Amino acid sequence: MTRPQAIPATKLDQVDSFADHVRSRPDALVYFLCNVGDADAQVLLLPELGTPAKRQAVVVDAGRSNKIPPLLQSLHDQQLLDLDDATDDPIALVVATHPHLDHVRGMPELFAKHGDRIAEYWDPGYYHVLAEYHRTMLEVESRPDLVYAQPTSGFRRWISDVAITVLSPSVQLRNRYDSYGIEINDSSISLRIEFPVHRYLEDRQKIEEGEALSIPPTRALVLGADAQTTSWAYVLGDFPFLFKSDTPAAKAIAAAQGNVDLLRGDVMKVSHHGSKHGVNLELVERVNPKVTLVSSVADQGQFNFPHAVAQDLIREAIFPTEGLGGYPDDFDPDMNLFYTADEDTSGATLGTIGLVMSLGACSMWRFGDEPGDVITFGDARRWKVDLW
Amino acid sequence: MYQQREAPRTTDPVGLWEPEIKRADDTVIEFVPSDADEYVVLDEIIGDQVRLAFTAWPSVDEEGRLRFAESGSEPLPVDREELRGSLDRLREIERQLVRPLRIGDVFLVRGMTPDPEEWERLLDITGAARRAASRAGVRAVAQPVEGTAITVRIEDAGIAEDVPVPSWRRPPEPPGAAPPPRPPAEPTPGSVSSAAV
């Protein structure tokens, strides 16, 4: 176990308004990785769409009480999300990646406060004996209009101009839940979020003239939940990409996928709080993230997250040294590897990570909150250099 | 969005949950929980550390739903081997099965403190708790059965009889002589979509 590296305070400033910045970028997807300690709580504010233009939210895990509902309320208060809208489902989707306490502890509270605005709820279908599992399922049962699903790998869902692909659990794991055969972390729903995924119309004349169809570029996040080695092994098999081998078979598979690695992600939320069992080198190399994020405590956690070996593995994938390591002690921020437990060199907690992402730019904001604190937009500090 | 399933009846808690608790020899332990007891879940094991989650003992409603306090579970970090030692000792006192720790184990604990060695009494209720969780998952999302329309009587041989077939599932009568009737279908054990564990 090693601490996240201290970040020079001079790399952040507090001159801009976070809410104003989001308002000025209607095309941006806003991602919050909340500071909830060794737990997960994430909110995605989808790009504006429709007339009048509106944003919808997706919640992935609520690992602590009093974090997600106040954040949604702040977005509402700043007119970035309309929680009063009873017709357009402002919370399009809630995902409980798996029913461990550190991922569902705040789920009953989320339903109690905003359940009438939630359109759809996914969990992996892994029954767990926690009180929070019972209470959440009671909330689901009490809402007959709520769509409920247990998705497995390969399932795709389009919401707004965002495509959500379920990477795990593989259906091969799903069909073995009924015993103790599957470790609960390996039931995790991990997701790939791609945007903007616009429909496009072919120009018949250009096609007849032989002009190749150009597919618009996109950005993507890979949200790893707590999936571990077994689950990722299935993911690597379910989502193959063999283009680099240059064999006819590899080229054919790659061509069928549009020559895009289906695991590619500009942003990767590392699985299982930086556990040594949550990531492997090949996975991070396949995702090839520009920004890598870890949700964990600093050094007081019960399970010693983030594990030093996992940190080194991530660094090797991002900045290969042929396994020699030897990274400088202040190198993580330079390779865009950040932790919710980050502190700056003055000892100030950096807390929840907010990314405002569009095709051409990605700004990072830190909200200074401790795990038990409510996120306050007015406390946001902006990373001076955009991440792309 | 259109309605996905039928709305549930509103049911109130009728008392504390009284799970069936068995010894290793399969005999039943007569025990009445009290509202001072705790519902303790082994939520996570990593290396030599275990995360327990504990909450007040649940009530049960008229349809068998467990009703837990709104305050929710509190995590309790414990050392794996120390917990194992305490559990072995307390299980032996109750003549319950002594077995390795597993995620998803559930205990009724009387005299809860942060130190398992100080617990006054422990009863392993894992089986009953897993069945309750399984039912909670299915009950929440599956359509309720209508009254007595599907009453399956299972005889010793496990054969279902007297199952009324809805008219919309009945094939049309064939012309001419009727074929010999098919034997009744055997009931199948539950799948991942049913309450089987």
pLDDT digits (tens, 9 = 90+) for B43-60: 999 999 999 999 999 999
* Contact residues, chain A, for B46 at CB < 8 Å: 275, 303
Q: Note whether residue B116 is domain-resident.
A: yes
Q: Note whether residue B132 is domain-resident.
A: yes
Does the distance separating the beta carbons of B47 and A108 come in below 8 Å? Answer: no
Does the distance separating the beta carbons of B140 and A148 come in below 8 Å? Answer: yes
- Cα–Cα distance for residue pair A309/A322, rounded to 1 Å: 15
Which of A125, A178, A302 minimises the CB distance to B197?
A178
Inform me whether the pLDDT recorded for A50 exceeds 90. Answer: no
Inform me whether the pLDDT recorded for B178 exceeds 80. Answer: no
Inform me whether the pLDDT recorded for B136 exceeds 50. Answer: yes
Single pTM value for the model: 0.90
**Arithmetic mean of pLDDT, B30-37:** 95
* Contact residues, chain A, for B133 at CB < 8 Å: 127-129, 133-134
Helices (H), chain A: 18-23, 68-77, 101-104, 107-114, 131-141, 171-174, 204-208, 229-238, 248-256, 281-287, 308-318
Question: Three-class SS string for B6-48?
Answer: CCCCCCCEEEECCCCCECCCCCECCCCCCCCCEEEEEEEEECC
CA distance B155 to chain A (A): 26
Angle at A294 between CA A289 and CA A300, to 5 degrees: 155
Digit-coded pLDDT (tens) for B85-94: 999 999 999 9
Digit-coded pLDDT (tens) for A266-295: 999 999 999 999 999 999 999 999 999 999
Q: Note whether residue B159 is domain-resident.
A: no
Range of the domain at B64: 15-142
For chains A and B, what is the number of CB pairs under 8 angstroms? 122
| CA distances for B34 relative to A286, B30, B111, B194, angstroms | 54, 13, 11, 31
* Contact residues, chain A, for B2 at CB < 8 Å: 145
- Cα–Cα distance for residue pair A174/B122, rounded to 1 Å: 33
- Cα–Cα distance for residue pair A386/A377, rounded to 1 Å: 19
Parallel, antiparallel or unpaired: strands A353-357 and B160-161 = unpaired
A137, A120 contact by CB (below 8 A): no
Which pLDDT belongs to residue A249? 82
Number of H helices, E strands in chain B: 2, 10
Helix (H, G, I), strand (E, B), or coil: what is residue A288?
A: coil
Does the distance separating the beta carbons of A130 and B69 come in below 8 Å? Answer: no
How many structural domains comprise chain B? 1
Does the distance separating the beta carbons of B136 and A127 come in below 8 Å? Answer: yes
Inform me whether the pLDDT recorded for A170 exceeds 90. Answer: yes
Pick among B12, B46, B135 to test the A interface (most A CBs inside 10 A)? B46
Angle at A160 between CA A154 and CA A163, to 5 degrees: 20
Does the distance separating the beta carbons of B133 and A134 come in below 8 Å? Answer: yes
Chain A's closest residue to B192, CA to CA, is A178
Q: Note whether residue B6 is domain-resident.
A: no
What is the longest distance spanned by two Cα atoms in chain A? Answer: 64
Instruction: Provide ipTM, 2 decimals.
Output: 0.91
Q: Does A177 touch chain B (CB under 8 A)?
A: yes
CA A33 to chain CA centroid, nearest Å? 7
Amino acid at A385: V
CA distance B185 to chain A (A): 24
Q: Note whether residue B166 is domain-resident.
A: no
- Cα–Cα distance for residue pair A128/B137, rounded to 1 Å: 9
Positive or negative, the CA dihedral A271, A274, A275, A276 is: positive
Positive or negative, the CA dihedral A297, A298, A303, A305 is: positive
Does the distance separating the beta carbons of A147 and B1 come in below 8 Å? Answer: yes
Digit-coded pLDDT (tens) for A229-266: 999 999 999 998 776 677 888 778 777 777 778 899 99
Q: With 0-12 CB in 10 A as exposed, 13-18 as middle and 19+ as buried, what is B145?
A: exposed
Sequence-ordered list of residues with C-beta below 8 angstroms from that of B10, at least 6 positions apart, any chain: none
Does the distance separating the beta carbons of A108 and B72 come in below 8 Å? Answer: yes
Sequence-ordered list of residues with C-beta below 8 angstroms from that of B154, at least 6 positions apart, any chain: B160, B187
Percent of chain A's residues with pLDDT above 70: 96
Inform me whether the pLDDT recorded for A121 exceeds 70. Answer: yes
Which of B4, B5, B41 minimises the CB distance to A129?
B41
Beta bridge partners of B190: none
Q: Note whether residue B173 is domain-resident.
A: no
Inform me whether the pLDDT recorded for B132 exceeds 60. Answer: yes
Give backbone dihedrals phi and psi of B51, rounded to 5 degrees, phi first: -105, 115
Which pLDDT belongs to residue B6? 83
Question: Three-class SS string for A212-261?
Answer: CCCCCCCEEEEECCCCCHHHHHHHHHHCCCCHHHCCHHHHHHHHHCCCCC
Q: Note whether residue B164 is domain-resident.
A: no
Does the distance separating the beta carbons of A134 and B66 come in below 8 Å? Answer: yes
Give which of B103, B136, B128, B93 is closest to A131, Cα–Cα: B136
Which of A109, A128, A138 minimises the CB distance to B133?
A128
Percent of chain B's residues with pLDDT above 70: 76
Does the distance separating the beta carbons of B140 and A137 come in below 8 Å? Answer: yes
Sequence-ordered list of residues with C-beta below 8 angstroms from that of A144, at least 6 positions apart, any chain: B3, B4, B5, B6, B7
Q: Does A125 touch chain B (CB under 8 A)?
A: yes
Which of A129, A140, A180 minimises the CB distance to B140?
A140
Omega before B77 within 30 of 0, i.e. cis: no
Inform me whether the pLDDT recorded for B38 exceeds 90. Answer: yes
* Contact residues, chain A, for B53 at CB < 8 Å: 101, 130-131
CA distance B196 to chain A (A): 8
Which of A127, A132, A304 minimises the CB distance to B134?
A127
- Cα–Cα distance for residue pair A292/A315, rounded to 1 Å: 10
Q: Note whether residue B77 is domain-resident.
A: yes
Q: Does A359 touch chain B (CB under 8 A)?
A: no
